Structure 1
Protein backbone atom coordinates (compact mmCIF):
# COMPACT_ATOMS: atom_id res chain seq x y z
CA UNK A 1 0.00 0.00 0.00
CA UNK A 2 1.30 3.42 -0.89
CA UNK A 3 2.80 5.60 1.76
CA UNK A 4 0.93 8.63 3.04
CA UNK A 5 2.72 11.26 0.94
CA UNK A 6 2.62 9.15 -2.25
CA UNK A 7 -1.10 8.45 -1.97
CA UNK A 8 -1.89 12.03 -1.07
CA UNK A 9 -0.17 13.33 -4.23
CA UNK A 10 -2.29 11.08 -6.44
CA UNK A 11 -5.44 13.06 -5.61
CA UNK A 12 -4.57 16.24 -7.46
CA UNK A 13 -8.18 17.42 -7.34
CA UNK A 14 -8.30 17.48 -3.57
CA UNK A 15 -6.30 20.03 -1.68
CA UNK A 16 -3.81 18.68 0.83
CA UNK A 17 -5.26 20.84 3.59
CA UNK A 18 -8.73 19.42 2.98
CA UNK A 19 -7.43 15.85 3.12
CA UNK A 20 -5.51 16.54 6.32
CA UNK A 21 -8.54 18.12 7.97
CA UNK A 22 -10.82 15.31 6.83
CA UNK A 23 -8.32 12.68 7.96
CA UNK A 24 -8.13 14.17 11.44
CA UNK A 25 -11.93 14.19 11.69
CA UNK A 26 -12.07 10.61 10.38
CA UNK A 27 -9.49 9.32 12.87
CA UNK A 28 -11.21 11.19 15.71
CA UNK A 29 -14.44 9.40 14.81
CA UNK A 30 -12.63 6.04 14.68
CA UNK A 31 -11.04 6.51 18.11
CA UNK A 32 -14.20 8.06 19.58
CA UNK A 33 -16.40 5.18 18.41
CA UNK A 34 -13.86 2.66 19.67
CA UNK A 35 -13.70 4.40 23.06
CA UNK A 36 -17.48 4.35 23.47
CA UNK A 37 -17.43 0.66 22.57
CA UNK A 38 -14.77 -0.01 25.20
CA UNK A 39 -16.84 1.84 27.81
CA UNK A 40 -19.93 -0.22 26.94
CA UNK A 41 -17.88 -3.42 27.19
CA UNK A 42 -16.45 -2.47 30.59
CA UNK A 43 -19.85 -1.52 32.01
CA UNK A 44 -21.52 -4.66 30.66
CA UNK A 45 -18.77 -6.92 32.02
CA UNK A 46 -18.80 -5.25 35.44
CA UNK A 47 -22.60 -5.30 35.70
CA UNK A 48 -22.97 -8.95 34.67
CA UNK A 49 -20.17 -10.06 36.99
CA UNK A 50 -21.78 -8.17 39.87
CA UNK A 51 -25.18 -9.77 39.24
CA UNK A 52 -23.60 -13.22 38.98
CA UNK A 53 -22.14 -13.38 42.48
CA UNK A 54 -23.77 -13.51 45.91
CA UNK A 55 -22.71 -14.25 49.46
CA UNK A 56 -25.76 -16.47 50.03
CA UNK A 57 -24.56 -20.11 50.20
CA UNK A 58 -28.07 -21.33 49.40
CA UNK A 59 -27.86 -19.90 45.89
CA UNK A 60 -25.70 -22.63 44.41
CA UNK A 61 -22.13 -23.18 43.21
CA UNK A 62 -19.27 -21.74 45.26
CA UNK A 63 -16.62 -19.96 43.21
CA UNK A 64 -14.41 -18.89 46.12
CA UNK A 65 -14.72 -18.73 49.88
CA UNK A 66 -17.81 -16.73 50.80
CA UNK A 67 -18.94 -16.16 47.21
CA UNK A 68 -21.43 -18.18 45.18
CA UNK A 69 -22.94 -17.99 41.72
CA UNK A 70 -26.46 -16.62 41.42
CA UNK A 71 -28.93 -18.22 39.03
CA UNK A 72 -27.82 -15.71 36.39
CA UNK A 73 -24.17 -16.61 37.02
CA UNK A 74 -24.90 -20.32 36.76
CA UNK A 75 -26.71 -19.75 33.46
CA UNK A 76 -23.87 -17.68 31.98
CA UNK A 77 -20.86 -19.56 33.30
CA UNK A 78 -21.99 -23.10 34.12
CA UNK A 79 -24.70 -24.05 31.62
CA UNK A 80 -24.55 -24.96 27.91
CA UNK A 81 -25.45 -21.32 27.19
CA UNK A 82 -21.84 -20.43 28.05
CA UNK A 83 -20.76 -21.76 24.62
CA UNK A 84 -23.11 -19.40 22.81
CA UNK A 85 -21.94 -16.49 24.96
CA UNK A 86 -18.32 -17.43 24.32
CA UNK A 87 -18.64 -17.50 20.54
CA UNK A 88 -21.27 -14.76 20.14
CA UNK A 89 -18.69 -11.94 19.62
CA UNK A 90 -17.04 -13.93 16.83
CA UNK A 91 -20.43 -14.43 15.16
CA UNK A 92 -21.10 -10.69 15.49
CA UNK A 93 -17.79 -9.81 13.81
CA UNK A 94 -18.35 -12.14 10.86
CA UNK A 95 -21.94 -10.96 10.47
CA UNK A 96 -21.03 -7.29 10.63
CA UNK A 97 -18.17 -7.70 8.14
CA UNK A 98 -20.38 -9.61 5.71
CA UNK A 99 -23.33 -7.22 5.96
CA UNK A 100 -21.62 -3.82 6.22
CA UNK A 101 -22.36 -2.94 2.57
CA UNK A 102 -26.10 -3.41 3.16
CA UNK A 103 -26.13 -1.32 6.36
CA UNK A 104 -26.38 2.41 6.76
CA UNK A 105 -23.66 4.09 8.80
CA UNK A 106 -26.12 4.61 11.67
CA UNK A 107 -27.12 0.94 11.64
CA UNK A 108 -23.48 -0.15 11.55
CA UNK A 109 -22.75 2.02 14.59
CA UNK A 110 -25.69 0.53 16.50
CA UNK A 111 -24.58 -3.00 15.63
CA UNK A 112 -21.05 -2.17 16.79
CA UNK A 113 -22.32 -0.96 20.16
CA UNK A 114 -24.48 -4.09 20.49
CA UNK A 115 -21.39 -6.15 19.72
CA UNK A 116 -19.46 -4.27 22.42
CA UNK A 117 -22.16 -5.14 24.98
CA UNK A 118 -22.09 -8.81 23.97
CA UNK A 119 -18.30 -8.79 24.26
CA UNK A 120 -18.66 -7.40 27.78
CA UNK A 121 -20.92 -10.29 28.74
CA UNK A 122 -18.52 -12.75 27.13
CA UNK A 123 -15.48 -11.55 29.09
CA UNK A 124 -17.29 -10.71 32.34
CA UNK A 125 -15.76 -13.76 34.03
CA UNK A 126 -12.47 -11.87 34.37
CA UNK A 127 -14.00 -10.11 37.40
CA UNK A 128 -14.54 -13.53 38.99
CA UNK A 129 -11.10 -14.89 38.12
CA UNK A 130 -8.68 -11.96 38.52
CA UNK A 131 -8.24 -9.35 41.22
CA UNK A 132 -9.64 -5.91 40.49
CA UNK A 133 -6.21 -4.34 40.99
CA UNK A 134 -4.57 -6.56 38.38
CA UNK A 135 -7.39 -5.90 35.89
CA UNK A 136 -6.92 -2.15 36.24
CA UNK A 137 -3.13 -2.41 36.05
CA UNK A 138 -3.15 -4.58 32.94
CA UNK A 139 -5.77 -2.32 31.33
CA UNK A 140 -3.55 0.74 31.85
CA UNK A 141 -0.50 -1.09 30.48
CA UNK A 142 -2.55 -2.16 27.45
CA UNK A 143 -3.81 1.39 26.92
CA UNK A 144 -0.26 2.79 26.94
CA UNK A 145 1.02 0.09 24.58
CA UNK A 146 -1.97 0.50 22.26
CA UNK A 147 -1.61 4.28 22.09
CA UNK A 148 2.10 3.99 21.30
CA UNK A 149 1.62 1.35 18.62
CA UNK A 150 -1.32 3.18 17.02
CA UNK A 151 0.65 6.43 16.98
CA UNK A 152 3.51 4.60 15.29
CA UNK A 153 1.16 3.18 12.66
CA UNK A 154 -0.28 6.63 12.01
CA UNK A 155 2.99 8.54 11.75
CA UNK A 156 5.47 6.08 10.25
CA UNK A 157 6.53 6.49 6.61
CA UNK A 158 7.30 2.78 6.46
CA UNK A 159 4.83 0.68 4.46
CA UNK A 160 3.38 -1.87 6.88
CA UNK A 161 1.17 -3.64 4.34
CA UNK A 162 3.68 -6.47 3.96
CA UNK A 163 2.95 -7.39 7.58
CA UNK A 164 -0.73 -7.94 6.85
CA UNK A 165 -0.56 -11.47 5.42
CA UNK A 166 1.83 -12.67 8.11
CA UNK A 167 -0.29 -11.18 10.90
CA UNK A 168 -3.54 -12.62 9.52
CA UNK A 169 -1.96 -16.08 9.33
CA UNK A 170 -0.87 -15.67 12.94
CA UNK A 171 -4.38 -14.56 13.92
CA UNK A 172 -5.98 -17.59 12.27
CA UNK A 173 -3.48 -19.82 14.04
CA UNK A 174 -4.35 -18.22 17.39
CA UNK A 175 -8.08 -18.73 16.85
CA UNK A 176 -7.60 -22.39 15.95
CA UNK A 177 -5.23 -23.00 18.87
CA UNK A 178 -7.61 -21.26 21.29
CA UNK A 179 -10.56 -23.37 20.17
CA UNK A 180 -8.51 -26.57 20.47
CA UNK A 181 -7.35 -25.58 23.94
CA UNK A 182 -10.95 -25.20 25.12
CA UNK A 183 -11.05 -28.99 25.03
CA UNK A 184 -7.41 -29.73 25.90
CA UNK A 185 -7.16 -27.22 28.75
CA UNK A 186 -3.37 -27.19 28.38
CA UNK A 187 -1.65 -24.52 30.47
CA UNK A 188 1.42 -24.65 28.22
CA UNK A 189 -0.65 -24.08 25.08
CA UNK A 190 -2.59 -21.32 26.82
CA UNK A 191 0.67 -19.58 27.74
CA UNK A 192 1.98 -19.90 24.17
CA UNK A 193 -1.27 -18.53 22.71
CA UNK A 194 -1.19 -15.55 25.07
CA UNK A 195 2.50 -14.77 24.48
CA UNK A 196 2.26 -15.01 20.70
CA UNK A 197 -1.11 -13.25 20.77
CA UNK A 198 0.38 -10.16 22.40
CA UNK A 199 2.89 -9.87 19.55
CA UNK A 200 0.28 -10.50 16.85
CA UNK A 201 -2.19 -7.91 18.17
CA UNK A 202 0.60 -5.42 18.80
CA UNK A 203 1.54 -5.70 15.12
CA UNK A 204 -2.11 -5.53 14.05
CA UNK A 205 -2.61 -2.31 16.02
CA UNK A 206 0.07 -0.51 14.00
CA UNK A 207 -0.97 -2.18 10.74
CA UNK A 208 -4.69 -1.46 11.15
CA UNK A 209 -4.06 2.17 12.07
CA UNK A 210 -2.00 2.75 8.94
CA UNK A 211 -4.57 0.88 6.85
CA UNK A 212 -7.42 3.05 8.20
CA UNK A 213 -5.46 6.19 7.40
CA UNK A 214 -4.44 5.13 3.90
CA UNK A 215 -7.93 3.89 3.05
CA UNK A 216 -9.37 7.28 3.95
CA UNK A 217 -6.78 9.12 1.86
CA UNK A 218 -7.45 6.89 -1.14
CA UNK A 219 -11.20 7.49 -0.92
CA UNK A 220 -11.21 11.14 0.18
CA UNK A 221 -11.75 12.44 -3.34
CA UNK A 222 -14.96 10.43 -3.78
CA UNK A 223 -16.89 12.54 -1.28
CA UNK A 224 -19.03 9.52 -0.36
CA UNK A 225 -19.81 10.45 3.24
CA UNK A 226 -21.98 7.37 3.82
CA UNK A 227 -19.11 5.08 2.81
CA UNK A 228 -16.61 7.05 4.88
CA UNK A 229 -18.95 6.81 7.88
CA UNK A 230 -19.12 3.03 7.57
CA UNK A 231 -15.33 2.89 7.05
CA UNK A 232 -14.90 4.72 10.37
CA UNK A 233 -17.11 2.16 12.13
CA UNK A 234 -15.17 -0.76 10.65
CA UNK A 235 -11.92 0.95 11.56
CA UNK A 236 -13.15 1.34 15.13
CA UNK A 237 -14.09 -2.36 15.15
CA UNK A 238 -10.59 -3.36 13.99
CA UNK A 239 -8.81 -1.28 16.62
CA UNK A 240 -11.30 -2.34 19.30
CA UNK A 241 -10.54 -6.00 18.59
CA UNK A 242 -6.80 -5.30 18.67
CA UNK A 243 -7.12 -3.60 22.06
CA UNK A 244 -9.46 -6.08 23.71
CA UNK A 245 -7.49 -9.11 22.55
CA UNK A 246 -4.15 -7.62 23.59
CA UNK A 247 -5.69 -6.81 26.99
CA UNK A 248 -7.01 -10.36 27.44
CA UNK A 249 -3.67 -11.89 26.43
CA UNK A 250 -1.72 -9.67 28.84
CA UNK A 251 -4.22 -10.34 31.60
CA UNK A 252 -3.82 -14.08 31.07
CA UNK A 253 -0.04 -13.69 31.33
CA UNK A 254 0.29 -11.20 34.17
CA UNK A 255 -3.06 -10.97 35.96
CA UNK A 256 -3.28 -12.03 39.61
CA UNK A 257 -5.92 -14.70 40.02
CA UNK A 258 -8.32 -14.76 42.94
Structure 2
Protein backbone atom coordinates (compact mmCIF):
# COMPACT_ATOMS: atom_id res chain seq x y z
CA UNK A 1 0.00 0.00 0.00
CA UNK A 2 2.77 2.40 0.94
CA UNK A 3 4.58 1.56 -2.29
CA UNK A 4 1.45 2.33 -4.31
CA UNK A 5 1.01 5.61 -2.47
CA UNK A 6 4.63 6.51 -3.17
CA UNK A 7 4.18 5.78 -6.88
CA UNK A 8 0.99 7.83 -6.99
CA UNK A 9 2.66 10.70 -5.15
CA UNK A 10 5.63 10.60 -7.52
CA UNK A 11 3.32 10.60 -10.52
CA UNK A 12 1.37 13.60 -9.24
CA UNK A 13 4.60 15.47 -8.50
CA UNK A 14 5.85 14.74 -12.01
CA UNK A 15 2.59 15.97 -13.55
CA UNK A 16 2.67 19.14 -11.47
CA UNK A 17 6.27 19.80 -12.52
CA UNK A 18 5.41 19.22 -16.19
CA UNK A 19 2.38 21.50 -15.99
CA UNK A 20 4.50 24.22 -14.36
CA UNK A 21 7.11 24.03 -17.14
CA UNK A 22 4.32 24.11 -19.74
CA UNK A 23 2.65 27.16 -18.17
CA UNK A 24 5.92 29.03 -17.74
CA UNK A 25 6.99 28.22 -21.30
CA UNK A 26 3.81 29.51 -22.93
CA UNK A 27 3.68 32.57 -20.67
CA UNK A 28 7.27 33.51 -21.50
CA UNK A 29 6.76 32.66 -25.18
CA UNK A 30 3.75 34.99 -25.34
CA UNK A 31 5.71 37.85 -23.78
CA UNK A 32 8.73 37.35 -26.03
CA UNK A 33 6.54 37.25 -29.14
CA UNK A 34 4.95 40.54 -28.11
CA UNK A 35 8.35 42.07 -27.39
CA UNK A 36 9.68 40.80 -30.71
CA UNK A 37 6.69 42.31 -32.50
CA UNK A 38 7.39 45.66 -30.80
CA UNK A 39 11.04 45.69 -31.88
CA UNK A 40 10.03 44.63 -35.40
CA UNK A 41 7.47 47.46 -35.43
CA UNK A 42 10.12 49.96 -34.33
CA UNK A 43 12.40 48.73 -37.09
CA UNK A 44 9.65 49.16 -39.68
CA UNK A 45 8.54 52.58 -38.38
CA UNK A 46 12.10 53.93 -38.40
CA UNK A 47 13.01 52.19 -41.67
CA UNK A 48 16.09 50.61 -40.10
CA UNK A 49 18.16 48.55 -42.55
CA UNK A 50 18.77 44.85 -42.13
CA UNK A 51 22.03 44.28 -40.21
CA UNK A 52 23.23 41.73 -42.76
CA UNK A 53 23.94 38.02 -42.66
CA UNK A 54 27.15 38.11 -40.61
CA UNK A 55 25.84 40.41 -37.85
CA UNK A 56 22.59 38.46 -37.73
CA UNK A 57 24.36 35.12 -37.32
CA UNK A 58 26.85 36.45 -34.76
CA UNK A 59 24.10 38.16 -32.78
CA UNK A 60 21.79 35.14 -32.91
CA UNK A 61 24.33 32.48 -31.97
CA UNK A 62 26.00 34.74 -29.42
CA UNK A 63 22.74 35.50 -27.62
CA UNK A 64 21.65 31.87 -27.97
CA UNK A 65 24.85 30.71 -26.27
CA UNK A 66 24.40 33.35 -23.55
CA UNK A 67 20.82 32.25 -22.94
CA UNK A 68 21.88 28.61 -22.71
CA UNK A 69 24.63 29.56 -20.24
CA UNK A 70 22.23 31.58 -18.07
CA UNK A 71 19.24 29.27 -18.42
CA UNK A 72 19.15 28.34 -14.72
CA UNK A 73 19.30 31.92 -13.42
CA UNK A 74 17.01 34.94 -13.52
CA UNK A 75 19.40 36.54 -16.00
CA UNK A 76 18.38 33.84 -18.45
CA UNK A 77 15.01 35.55 -18.81
CA UNK A 78 16.72 38.85 -19.64
CA UNK A 79 18.85 37.02 -22.18
CA UNK A 80 15.74 35.51 -23.81
CA UNK A 81 14.28 38.98 -24.26
CA UNK A 82 17.59 40.23 -25.67
CA UNK A 83 17.61 37.36 -28.17
CA UNK A 84 13.98 37.70 -29.25
CA UNK A 85 14.23 41.49 -29.36
CA UNK A 86 17.25 41.25 -31.62
CA UNK A 87 15.48 38.75 -33.87
CA UNK A 88 12.54 41.15 -34.05
CA UNK A 89 14.89 43.89 -35.25
CA UNK A 90 16.16 41.61 -38.02
CA UNK A 91 12.58 40.69 -38.93
CA UNK A 92 11.40 44.29 -39.31
CA UNK A 93 13.29 45.06 -42.56
CA UNK A 94 12.12 41.76 -44.07
CA UNK A 95 8.47 42.54 -43.33
CA UNK A 96 8.97 46.11 -44.58
CA UNK A 97 10.30 44.79 -47.88
CA UNK A 98 7.17 42.69 -48.43
CA UNK A 99 4.84 45.48 -47.30
CA UNK A 100 6.29 47.75 -49.98
CA UNK A 101 5.37 45.27 -52.71
CA UNK A 102 2.00 45.22 -54.50
CA UNK A 103 -0.26 43.00 -52.40
CA UNK A 104 2.45 42.84 -49.75
CA UNK A 105 0.06 43.39 -46.85
CA UNK A 106 -1.95 40.34 -47.88
CA UNK A 107 1.22 38.24 -48.15
CA UNK A 108 2.37 39.27 -44.67
CA UNK A 109 -1.03 38.69 -43.07
CA UNK A 110 -1.40 35.32 -44.78
CA UNK A 111 2.04 34.24 -43.57
CA UNK A 112 1.22 35.47 -40.06
CA UNK A 113 -2.12 33.65 -40.02
CA UNK A 114 -0.56 30.50 -41.44
CA UNK A 115 2.17 30.56 -38.80
CA UNK A 116 -0.36 30.97 -36.00
CA UNK A 117 -2.61 28.21 -37.35
CA UNK A 118 0.29 25.76 -37.76
CA UNK A 119 1.68 26.47 -34.30
CA UNK A 120 -1.66 26.24 -32.51
CA UNK A 121 -2.71 23.18 -34.48
CA UNK A 122 0.50 21.23 -33.89
CA UNK A 123 0.82 22.27 -30.24
CA UNK A 124 -2.81 21.38 -29.63
CA UNK A 125 -2.32 18.01 -31.29
CA UNK A 126 0.73 17.20 -29.17
CA UNK A 127 -1.00 18.36 -25.99
CA UNK A 128 -4.24 16.47 -26.54
CA UNK A 129 -2.85 13.21 -27.91
CA UNK A 130 0.23 13.28 -25.62
CA UNK A 131 2.14 11.27 -28.22
CA UNK A 132 5.88 10.92 -27.77
CA UNK A 133 7.74 12.57 -30.66
CA UNK A 134 11.20 12.19 -29.14
CA UNK A 135 12.17 9.86 -32.00
CA UNK A 136 12.25 12.93 -34.28
CA UNK A 137 15.15 14.56 -32.43
CA UNK A 138 18.04 13.17 -34.47
CA UNK A 139 16.29 13.66 -37.80
CA UNK A 140 15.40 17.26 -36.99
CA UNK A 141 18.94 18.11 -35.90
CA UNK A 142 20.45 16.76 -39.13
CA UNK A 143 17.71 18.26 -41.27
CA UNK A 144 18.06 21.73 -39.75
CA UNK A 145 21.84 21.67 -40.18
CA UNK A 146 21.53 20.64 -43.85
CA UNK A 147 18.82 23.25 -44.52
CA UNK A 148 20.84 25.95 -42.74
CA UNK A 149 23.96 25.28 -44.81
CA UNK A 150 21.91 25.04 -48.00
CA UNK A 151 20.26 28.36 -47.18
CA UNK A 152 23.63 30.07 -46.76
CA UNK A 153 24.75 28.57 -50.06
CA UNK A 154 21.61 29.82 -51.80
CA UNK A 155 22.25 33.34 -50.49
CA UNK A 156 25.96 33.41 -51.34
CA UNK A 157 25.52 32.03 -54.86
CA UNK A 158 22.09 33.60 -55.56
CA UNK A 159 20.22 30.40 -56.44
CA UNK A 160 16.47 31.21 -56.24
CA UNK A 161 15.35 27.60 -56.77
CA UNK A 162 17.49 26.33 -53.91
CA UNK A 163 16.32 29.19 -51.72
CA UNK A 164 12.69 28.20 -52.27
CA UNK A 165 13.50 24.56 -51.56
CA UNK A 166 15.19 25.57 -48.31
CA UNK A 167 12.14 27.59 -47.28
CA UNK A 168 9.90 24.59 -47.94
CA UNK A 169 12.26 22.40 -45.92
CA UNK A 170 12.18 24.85 -43.02
CA UNK A 171 8.38 24.88 -42.99
CA UNK A 172 8.40 21.09 -42.55
CA UNK A 173 11.34 21.05 -40.12
CA UNK A 174 9.97 23.83 -37.91
CA UNK A 175 6.58 22.11 -37.83
CA UNK A 176 8.34 18.95 -36.68
CA UNK A 177 10.32 20.92 -34.12
CA UNK A 178 7.12 22.34 -32.62
CA UNK A 179 5.76 18.81 -32.21
CA UNK A 180 9.06 17.57 -30.81
CA UNK A 181 9.55 20.38 -28.28
CA UNK A 182 5.96 20.27 -27.04
CA UNK A 183 6.26 16.51 -26.64
CA UNK A 184 9.53 16.92 -24.73
CA UNK A 185 7.84 19.26 -22.24
CA UNK A 186 4.85 16.94 -21.77
CA UNK A 187 6.98 13.84 -21.20
CA UNK A 188 9.62 15.50 -19.03
CA UNK A 189 12.40 15.53 -21.61
CA UNK A 190 12.68 19.32 -21.30
CA UNK A 191 12.47 20.72 -17.78
CA UNK A 192 13.89 24.19 -18.43
CA UNK A 193 11.18 26.56 -19.61
CA UNK A 194 13.70 29.16 -20.80
CA UNK A 195 15.26 26.77 -23.33
CA UNK A 196 11.83 25.44 -24.29
CA UNK A 197 10.72 29.01 -24.99
CA UNK A 198 13.77 29.69 -27.15
CA UNK A 199 13.19 26.54 -29.21
CA UNK A 200 9.53 27.35 -29.82
CA UNK A 201 10.30 31.01 -30.59
CA UNK A 202 12.94 30.06 -33.15
CA UNK A 203 10.49 27.59 -34.70
CA UNK A 204 7.83 30.29 -35.05
CA UNK A 205 10.34 32.84 -36.40
CA UNK A 206 11.70 30.51 -39.07
CA UNK A 207 8.23 29.23 -39.93
CA UNK A 208 6.98 32.79 -40.50
CA UNK A 209 9.94 33.93 -42.60
CA UNK A 210 9.81 30.73 -44.68
CA UNK A 211 6.10 31.15 -45.35
CA UNK A 212 6.73 34.79 -46.30
CA UNK A 213 9.32 33.71 -48.85
CA UNK A 214 7.15 30.97 -50.33
CA UNK A 215 4.02 33.11 -50.51
CA UNK A 216 5.98 35.96 -52.04
CA UNK A 217 7.37 33.64 -54.69
CA UNK A 218 3.97 32.11 -55.49
CA UNK A 219 2.52 35.61 -55.76
CA UNK A 220 5.20 36.45 -58.30
CA UNK A 221 6.82 39.08 -56.09
CA UNK A 222 10.28 37.49 -55.52
Same fold flag (TM > 0.5): yes
Hey, what does 1:100 align to over in structure 2? 70
1:23 aligns with 2:18: yes
Aligned mates of 2:197, 2:169 — CA distance in 1 = 23
Partner of 1:240: 201
Report the CA distance between 1:116 and its aligned residue.
Answer: 0.8
* Greater Cα radius of gyration, structure 1 or 2: 1
What's the C-alpha RMSD, in Å, of the aligned pairs? 2.4
Structure 1: which 5+ residue stretches go unaligned? 1-8, 53-72, 218-227
Paired residues, number: 209
The answer for the alignment partner of 2:115 in structure 1 is 142
Work out whether 1:35 is the aligned partner of 2:30.
yes
How far residue 206 of structure 1 moved from its aligned partner, in angstroms, is 0.4
TM-score normalized with structure 2 length: 0.84
Q: What is aligned with 2:183?
A: 210
Find 2:174's aligned residue among 192, 201, 215.
201
Counterpart Cα distance in 2 of 1:216 and 1:172:
22
**Structure 2 unaligned runs (5+)?**
99-103
Deviations 1:141-188 (A, max 9, x none): 111111111122233343311111011100001111111122112110
Whole-angstrom CA distance in 2 between matches of 1:157 and 1:137: 29
TM-score by length of structure 1 reads 0.73
Secondary structure at the residue paired with 1:159? coil
SS in 2 for 1:239: helix
Given that 1:198 and 1:249 are in contact with CA atoms closer than 8 Å, whether structure 2 keeps it comes out as yes
The corresponding residue for 2:213 is 252
Tell me if 1:112 matches 2:80.
Answer: yes
| Contact residue 126 and residue 183 of structure 2 kept, 8 A | yes
Q: Which moved more, 1:21-30 or 1:35-44?
A: 21-30
Structure 1, residues 99-131: CA drift from partner, whole Å, max 9, x if none?
136x51x11111001111100111111232212
Question: Cα deviations across residues 62-81 of structure 1 (Å, max 9, x unaligned)?
Answer: xxxxxxxxxxx3xx33xxx5
Mapping 1:1-258, distance limit 5 Å: 12=7, 14-52=9-47, 73=48, 76-77=49-50, 82-87=52-57, 88-97=59-68, 99-100=69-70, 103-104=72-73, 106-130=74-98, 131-215=104-188, 231-255=192-216, 257=221
Aligned to 1:225: none
Q: In structure 2, do the counterparts of structure 1 residues 158 and 25 end up closer, same or farther at CA, with 3 Å as the change threshold?
A: closer
In the aligned structure 2, how far is the partner of 1:144 from the partner of 1:83? Answer: 29
